[in-house]
């Protein structure tokens, strides 16, 4: 029975989110540790008439590491790309080139079989929620000065200078990418403008950290995290991972993202946690794929509960409510 349900989840992913059509060139990229996930997706896409090719590669060593050249070349020729892999490929030149070639991309980093069964995938009306995404996306794109606050003590300001928001409805069009099953809107701050305090109290869904046992406070100056207080061993895992790269740009404030999937819940896995309603995440590290101008060795998201967002003095989100 479980196998039937998993197959149904994969079919919904291919049909509703990927919108695979007969004759389309479908590429499923996987690694040695995620081949069972890729097989489910490939079978579902083939059942819809897609011309499916699966590319298996060694797991990437870190987020943002480029795939092999042969995989990157195949990406440029595909109409639809599913990427169930252990380590995120989202912030790579290969993805950027595939989007320029008008591919529809569904990122599936750190997936599990349970996500094929999640209400975030099976019960969410992605088309209805897209309207909310686009409203917030227009507010983000038109915004200059952002202020983020929370009951836990977040008080963070930055400028976006009219940068275009990334609207991830989870039903990507040609030349668009969506991480599945999150729904989000994000924007990249102008480099060097972020100032203030960020209190992270929900999740760091990377490096095996997941849901936080205690909050921690980040001091942000001239666009970079300069100090962290609290968080215990979970924060130390993050700090040690970044220290291995010796790249100060890993602490760049690269992104403000808003979770907009009403079916998502906090699980410790990136692509569901980032979509939870009543959360925002601050991405740190590289910002190139988000509309920013700074390259870093990593990109990690720090998720917090119960945000209020003001843009140019107008409140656009207060907790669960989107006010535009």
DSSP string computed for 177-211: EEESS--EEEEPPPTT--EEEEEE-SEE-STT-EE
The pLDDT, as a whole number, for residue 104 is 97
pLDDT range class, residue 140, cuts 50, 70, 90 = very high
Percent of the chain with pLDDT over 70: 100
Rounded to whole angstroms, the Cα distance separating 274 from 265 reads 9
pLDDT digits (tens, 9 = 90+) for 8-56: 999 999 999 999 999 999 999 999 999 999 999 999 999 999 999 999 9
pLDDT in tens, 244-253: 999 999 999 9
63 pLDDT above the threshold of 80? no
Q: How far is residue 236's CA from residue 307's CA, in Å, rounded to a whole number?
A: 25
For 291-301, write each residue's pLDDT tens digit: 899 999 999 99
The residues spanned by each domain of the chain are 2-117, 124-322
CA distance 127 to 171: 8
148: confidence class by pLDDT, cuts 50, 70, 90: very high
Query: Looking at residue 87, what is its pLDDT?
Result: 86
207-211: average pLDDT = 90
Q: How many CA atoms lie within 13 A of 95 on its CB side?
A: 22
Task: Specify the pLDDT at position 289.
Answer: 82
State the average pLDDT over residues 159-164.
91
For the 2-117 domain, the top CATH level (class) is alpha beta
* pLDDT at residue 45 in the model: 98
Can you tell me the distance from the alpha carbon of 172 to that of 130, in angstroms, rounded to the nearest whole number?
10
Q: What is the pLDDT of residue 127?
A: 87
pLDDT of residue 90: 86
Euclidean distance between CA atoms 153 and 192, whole angstroms: 22
The reported pLDDT for the residue numbered 88 is 87
**Taking 90 as the threshold, does the pLDDT of residue 193 lie above it?**
yes
Residues 6 or more apart from 73 whose CB is under 8 A from it?
A: none
Q: Is the pLDDT of residue 196 over 90?
A: yes
pLDDT confidence of residue 270: 84
Lowest pLDDT segment from 224-233, 243-252, 284-293: 284-293
Burial (0-12, 13-18, 19+ Cβ within 10 Å), 309: buried
């Amino acid at each position: 029975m479980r196998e039937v349900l998993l197959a149904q989840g994969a079919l919904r992913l291919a049909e509703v989110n990927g919108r695979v059509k007969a004759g389309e060139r479908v590429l499923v990229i996987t690694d040695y540790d995620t081949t069972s996930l890729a097989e489910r997706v490939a079978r579902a896409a083939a059942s819809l008439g897609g011309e499916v090719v699966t590319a298996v590669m060694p797991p990437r060593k870190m987020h943002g590491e480029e795939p092999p050249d042969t995989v990157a070349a195949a990406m440029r020729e595909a109409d639809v790309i599913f990427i169930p892999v252990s380590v995120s490929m989202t912030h790579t030149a290969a993805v950027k080139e595939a989007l320029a070639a008008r591919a529809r991309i569904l990122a599936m980093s750190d997936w599990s079989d349970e996500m094929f069964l999640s209400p975030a995938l099976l019960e969410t009306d992605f088309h209805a929620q897209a309207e909310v995404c686009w409203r917030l996306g227009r507010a983000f794109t038109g915004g200059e000065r952002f202020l983020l606050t929370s009951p836990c003590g977040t008080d963070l300001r930055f400028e976006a200078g009219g940068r275009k928001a990334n609207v991830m409805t989870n039903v990507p069009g040609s030349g668009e990418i969506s991480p599945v099953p999150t729904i989000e809107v994000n924007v990249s701050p102008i480099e060097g403008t972020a100032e203030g305090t960020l209190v992270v109290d929900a999740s760091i869904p990377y490096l095996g950290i997941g849901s936080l046992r205690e909050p921690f406070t980040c001091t942000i100056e001239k666009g970079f995290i300069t100090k962290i207080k609290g968080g215990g061993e979970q924060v130390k895992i993050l700090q040690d991972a970044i220290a291995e790269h010796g790249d100060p740009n890993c602490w760049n404030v690269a992104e403000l993202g808003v979770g907009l999937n009403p079916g998502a819940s906090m699980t410790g896995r990136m692509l569901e946690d980032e979509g939870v309603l009543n959360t925002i995440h601050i991405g740190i590290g590289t910002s190139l794929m988000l509309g920013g101008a700074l390259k870093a060795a990593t990109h990690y998201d720090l998720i917090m509960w119960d945000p209020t967002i003001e843009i140019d003095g107008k409140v656009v989100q207060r907790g669960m409510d989107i006010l535009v």
